[in-house]
A and B are shown apart, each in its own frame.
Chain A
Amino acid sequence: MTPGDKREPAIEVEHLVKRFGDFTADDDLTFTVARDEIFGILGPNGAGKSTLIRMLTTLIRPTSGHALVMGFDVAKRTTDVRNSIGVIPQANTVDSDLTAWESLDIYGKFYGMSRRERRERSTELLQAVGLWEWKDKAAGTYSGGMRRRLEIARGLIHRPRVFFLDEPTTGLDPQSRRVIWELLERLRKEGDLTILICTHYMDEADRLCDRLAIIDHGKIAALGTPEELKGSIPGQDVVLVEFFQEIAEPVRESLRHLPEVSDAALDGDHRARLVLKGDVVPLDGILEVSRGQGNKVKSVSVQEATLDDVLLHYTGRALRDTVSSEYVRPLPSIMR
Chain B
Amino acid sequence: MRLPFNPSRMLAVTERDLRRFRRNIQLVIPMVMMPIIYLLILGKSMGGDLHHLPVAIVVEDRGAAAAGVRRQITTLAMARDLFTIQDEPEAPAAIARLRQGQYRAVIIVPNNFSEDFTRGEQAELGLAVDNTDATSANTIEAEMRRAMAEWRPAGAAPAGAAVGIDVQRVDVYGHKDYMQYLVPGVIALSLFFVAMVAGGIILVDDRARGIHEGYFVTPLTSMDLVGGLTLSATTLSLIMGTMVTVSSILIAQLPIIGGLKTLLLVELTIFLLALGLVLFMFTLMARVSNPMTPRALFGILNVITFFPSGALYPTESYPGWLQALSRVNPMRYAVHALRNLLLKGVGFGAVLPDYLVLVAFAATMLVLASVLFKRTL
Contact = CB atoms under 8 A, between A and B. Distances in A.
Interface of A: 54, 57-61, 79, 82-83, 85, 87, 89, 91-93, 95, 107, 110-112, 154, 329-336
Contact of A59 (B205, B211, B216, B219): B216
Contact of A334 (B216, B218, B219, B291): B291
Interface string B199-239: 00000010111111111111110000000000000000000
Contacts of A58: 216-217, 376
B376 A89 contact: no
Nearest to B212: A332
Interface string B285-297: 0000101000000
Contact of A82 (B208, B209, B218): B218
B210 A93 contact: yes
Nearest to B214: A93
Given A59-B376, A59-B377, A91-B213, A332 B208 contact: yes
A224 B367 CA distance: 50
Contacts of B210: 89, 91-93, 332-333, 336
B219 A83 contact: yes
Contact of A54 (B218, B289, B377): B377
Contact of A332 (B217, B218, B219, B377): B377
13 contacts: A57-B217, A58-B216, A59-B213, A91-B210, A91-B213, A95-B211, A110-B215, A110-B218, A111-B219, A112-B219, A332-B209, A332-B210, A333-B210
B217 A335 contact: no
A59 B208 CA distance: 15
Interface in B76-105: none
B289 A330 contact: yes
8 nearest A-B pairs in the assembled complex, by CB-CB distance: A93-B214, A93-B210, A91-B210, A87-B217, A110-B218, A332-B210, A82-B219, A59-B377
Contacts of A89: 210, 213-214, 217
A110 B217 CA distance: 10
Interface of B: 205, 207-220, 289, 291, 376-377
Contacts of B220: 110
A336 B289 contact: no
Nearest to B207: A332
Contacts of A82: 217-219
Given A59-B377, A60-B376, A332 B291 contact: no
Given A58-B217, A110-B218, A332-B210, 17 more contacts: A57-B217, A59-B216, A59-B377, A61-B376, A85-B217, A89-B213, A89-B217, A91-B213, A95-B214, A112-B219, A154-B214, A332-B212, A332-B289, A332-B377, A334-B208, A335-B209, A336-B209
A303 to B, nearest CB: 41
Contacts of B377: 54, 59-60, 329, 331-332
Contacts of B376: 58-61
B211 A93 contact: yes
Contacts of A57: 217
Contacts of B208: 332, 334-335
Contacts of A85: 217
A330 B209 CA distance: 12
Nearest to A95: B211
B218 A107 contact: yes
Nearest to A82: B219
Contacts of B216: 58-59
Contacts of B219: 79, 82-83, 110-112
A335 B213 contact: no
A110 B218 CA distance: 7
Looking at B209, B216, B217, B291, the one whose CB has the most chain A CB atoms below 10 A away is: B217
A164 to B, nearest CB: 8
Contacts of B207: 332
Nearest to B216: A59
Contacts of B291: 334-335
A54 B377 CA distance: 9
Nearest to B291: A335
Contacts of A83: 219
Nearest to B215: A110
Contacts of B214: 89, 93, 95, 154
A18 to B, nearest CB: 12
A169 B289 CA distance: 26
B240 to A, nearest CB: 18
B258 to A, nearest CB: 40
Contacts of B205: 335
